[in-house]
Amino acid sequence: MLKLCQKISRHFKTSSRLLNNIEVFVDGTPVSVAPDYSILQACQKAGVVVPHFCFHERLAVSGNCRMCIVEIEKMPKVMTACSMPVSPGMRINTKSEKTYNARGGVMEFLLANHPLDCPICDQGGECDLQDQSALYGYKIGRFMEYKRAVEDKNYGPLVATVMTRCIHCTRCIRFYEEVAGIPILGTTGRGRETEVGTYVEKMVHSELSGNLVDLCPVGALTNAPYAFTARPWELRNVMSIDPTDSITPSIEISCKGGEVKRVLPRLHEEVNEEWIHDRSRHAFDGLKRQRLNACLKKKADGSYEELTWKDALEVLAEEVSKTSGNDMVGIIGEFMDVEAVVAFRDLMYKLGCENIDAKKNGVKLSPDFRNNYLMNSRISGIEEADLLLVIGANLRLDSPVINARVRKATVLNGLNVGLIGTDDYLTYDHTHLGTSTSALTDLLKGTHPFAKTLEKAKFPMILVGANVLKREDGEAVNSVIQEIAKKYNVIKPESNWNGYNVLHNEVGTVAALEVGITSEYDPKAKPKFMYLLGADNFKPDEIPDDAFVVYQGTHGDEGASRANLILPGASYVEKSGSYVNTDGRVSLGKKAIPAPGQAKADWEILRALSEVLGQTLPYDNLQEIRYRIAELAPHLIKYDYVEPYSLSWHTVPVKGEVNKTVISDFIDNFYMTDAISRASPTMAKCSEAFNPARNTNFVPEVPIR
């Protein structure tokens, strides 16, 4: 039924583009609007505020809170503005006495059973019901009956519930069905006995579940880890981005003193719309645990001694002087900013080392042409495509926000999705082509049944998971994929369409490719000196036992445990830097809190080290290093802008043969994928509650297909 309504809505929206705008009057002011607008949309265009609780522009219209009622001339009763379409010459009155009395009556009903616990409610200060009751409600209520009480639900470790406050706006229900694609919430009972819940007692599981708190207009659903730690008026908000997600969603970091209290999403239509996943929202508490806040040197007995910065840099300089550039290797971590990558590149090149980002399991991509390693169609291009072929990526785990956009495109635009790889619990209809690379060769030959569908597509899009390109046969697999893209005209210069895309997992990898660094490493080589720049996710056999290892980063994780010398770096909330996301968009991250102890910004550490080594880098502040970035890649100083992509092929010849092996899931635990999330107590609770490998009683909800 939902899909039918959305198809009808899409039909009317398409046909309305062919019609002229109509004129309506809002409080006597003429406004020209499209004929498919609702009264609420017409009022918004006129700049008139209409109160509402249930309406949300990204969710289907329900019209059940009744707060948006307005008076319409020649109509005997007031009407809900969110569900009533406009008509030519309609006269809407939002400030009449009739409208005022009707809204007051609705508010009186809403508050009839609502607990007046605002002083202890965690939503106090940013509660829609609290604000609107002050503006539109009566000063006193006439209901003297006892207020109802509803049992709280267990929605998991991220969402706290006080269901007595629920006003049944059904935003949470519609979000789970329409955006998350999981039919887990609904209503039971009628009238006074209505309750929102999960029918059978179970936890609410979705990688996007934290967005429920933002949608709830009252204090029924609140941020459990943040609850009662601060009030909104005590917080200092910093507008930044999240580099732990490869799409770098826009976020708002709320701080109190020198501590991050919560992370909220910001609106960015081309990247994350207004959603972020749970790891982006809640893993920040890992920044307080297992942090490196002092320079440390490993002693002969395996223990560590603390050093000053001066002593640590001198020890490092001594080790570097013993080693030639050919015996050095540098590995760039997953969350590195462009400034740190450029400083690292410049320093290593000055030392005669070109083995940078040299991971044996690194992405096998050439940095020569940007359209070989970026998401050329952009994230928003998913809604323009009519066919999407996903290769080697389980989008629900790799990028839940992109997965939500794919679901939106399948429901609203009829996007046809094909998948090669694991398809567990995806939230939309799709065609599973197989789990091994043999499906690729079948597509190239044209023998696979999906080949005919691919041929008919007008705007086909291929999305390659970066993990596929980390296989031993990664270059050969990529070459086959590009041959498939050529055969089925995935790039259409005449239509300004480039449908070949790579979905990266790490912004550090994209930054390295943008400044010309590639992964070239001889597996048989045994370097004597390794510099790990925030690198924690690596295989043990990548580091020889006798190598001197320097780890510069934030956490005592895998990198620090192997290091001979540890230099504490600042995290993404403790420094200002620029990051490149998977579609080549450069975004600025802002410093929100000071770094702990001796920790410094990564590029500053490298600049100080270069001076001790006698190879001084030619920049002393953030502005000067960005001048250096502009010399290497001018587009990297154009913030929140995507440089136009190439519409011609720059392919890499096949190296070796494709192994006929299974493309398995590369993420076994969504809640613990990096050093920050592994140190997070909140992510540990989520892993315990939602990971079937740990919680044998947990069964993931079957998505809507």
- Nearest Cα neighbor of 21 from 86, 106, 105 is 86
* pLDDT bucket at 116, cuts 50 / 70 / 90: confident
Domain range annotation of the chain? 2-223, 232-288, 304-364+509-637, 374-503
pLDDT tens for 139-196 read 788 888 888 899 999 999 999 999 999 999 999 999 999 999 998 899 998 888 899 9
CB 533, CB 336: distance < 8 Å: yes
Q: Distance (Å, rounded) from C-alpha 614 to C-alpha 131? A: 62
Please determine, for residue 691, whether its predicted confidence score (pLDDT) is greater than 80.
no
* pLDDT bucket at 525, cuts 50 / 70 / 90: confident
For residue 443, what pLDDT is reported?
92
Q: Distance (Å, rounded) from C-alpha 432 to C-alpha 416? A: 11
The tokens describing 313, both together, are 């840099």
Higher pLDDT, 670 or 657: 670
Q: Distance (Å, rounded) from C-alpha 196 to C-alpha 189? A: 9
Q: Distance (Å, rounded) from C-alpha 258 to C-alpha 595? A: 9
The tokens describing 15, both together, are 């046909």
For residue 10, what pLDDT is reported?
45
Please determine, for residue 304, whether its predicted confidence score (pLDDT) is greater than 50.
yes
Radius of gyration of the chain from Cα atoms?
28
CB 177, CB 171: distance < 8 Å: no
> For residues 515-524, b (16+ Cβ closer than 10 Å) or e, as one string?
bebbbebeee
Which residue intervals of 558-666 are DSSP H helices? 558-562, 602-612, 622-632
Would you give the DSSP letter of residue 564?
S
CATH architecture of 2-223: Roll (3.10)
CB 185, CB 216: distance < 8 Å: no
For residue 18, what pLDDT is reported?
43
C-alpha distances in Å from residue 375, one per residue of 353, 497, 500, 515: 30, 12, 7, 17
Complete edge-to-edge strand list for the sheet that includes strand 529-533: 304-307, 295-298, 565-568, 548-553, 529-533, 328-332
pLDDT tens for 403-425 read 999 999 999 999 999 999 988 78
Torsion of CA 604, 605, 611, 617, to 10 degrees: -50
Please determine, for residue 15, whether its predicted confidence score (pLDDT) is greater than 50.
no
* pLDDT bucket at 700, cuts 50 / 70 / 90: low
Please determine, for residue 9, whether its predicted confidence score (pLDDT) is greater than 60.
no
The stretch 502-528 carries a mean pLDDT of: 85
Please determine, for residue 16, whether its predicted confidence score (pLDDT) is greater than 50.
no
pLDDT tens for 117-134 read 889 999 988 999 999 999
CB 479, CB 654: distance < 8 Å: yes
pLDDT tens for 199-254 read 877 788 899 999 999 999 999 999 999 999 999 999 999 999 999 999 999 999 99
Q: Distance (Å, rounded) from C-alpha 11 to C-alpha 19? A: 13
pLDDT tens for 664-680 read 778 888 999 999 999 99
CB 435, CB 405: distance < 8 Å: no
* pLDDT bucket at 19, cuts 50 / 70 / 90: low
CB 652, CB 478: distance < 8 Å: yes
CATH architecture of 304-364+509-637: 3-Layer(aba) Sandwich (3.40)
Residue 623 φ/ψ, nearest 5 degrees:
-65, -40
CB 459, CB 485: distance < 8 Å: no
Q: Distance (Å, rounded) from C-alpha 10 to C-alpha 36? A: 10
The tokens describing 441, both together, are 């060769």
For residue 520, what pLDDT is reported?
67
For residue 2, what pLDDT is reported?
45
- Nearest Cα neighbor of 350 from 617, 626, 4 is 617
For residue 368, what pLDDT is reported?
84
Q: Distance (Å, rounded) from C-alpha 344 to C-alpha 356? A: 9
For residue 12, what pLDDT is reported?
41
Q: Distance (Å, rounded) from C-alpha 403 to C-alpha 465? A: 13
- Nearest Cα neighbor of 317 from 610, 548, 613 is 613
Classify residue 233 by burial, with Cβ atoms within 10 Å: 0-12, 13-18, 19+.
exposed
For residue 339, what pLDDT is reported?
97
For residue 554, what pLDDT is reported?
95
Residue 255 φ/ψ, nearest 5 degrees:
-120, 150
User: Which amino acid, residue 436?
Assistant: S
Residue range 374-503 in CATH 3.40.50.2300: no
Please determine, for residue 694, whether its predicted confidence score (pLDDT) is greater than 70.
no
CATH entry, 232-288, from 1.10.3470, 2.60.120, 1.10.10, 2.20.25? 2.20.25
The size of the chain, in residues, is: 705
For residue 701, what pLDDT is reported?
62
For residue 650, what pLDDT is reported?
66
Q: Distance (Å, rounded) from C-alpha 82 to C-alpha 56? A: 9
Please give the mean pLDDT across all residues of the chain.
89
For residue 183, what pLDDT is reported?
87
Q: Distance (Å, rounded) from C-alpha 127 to C-alpha 305? A: 50
For residue 647, what pLDDT is reported?
78
Read out DSSP for 447-510?
A: -STHHHHHHH-SSEEEEEEGGGGGSTTHHHHHHHHHHHHHHTT-EEGGGTEE-EEEE-S-HHHH
C-alpha distances in Å from residue 678, one per residue of 292, 555, 593, 683, 705: 15, 10, 21, 7, 32
Listed range (18-32, 76-90, 607-621, 640-654) with the worst mean pLDDT: 640-654
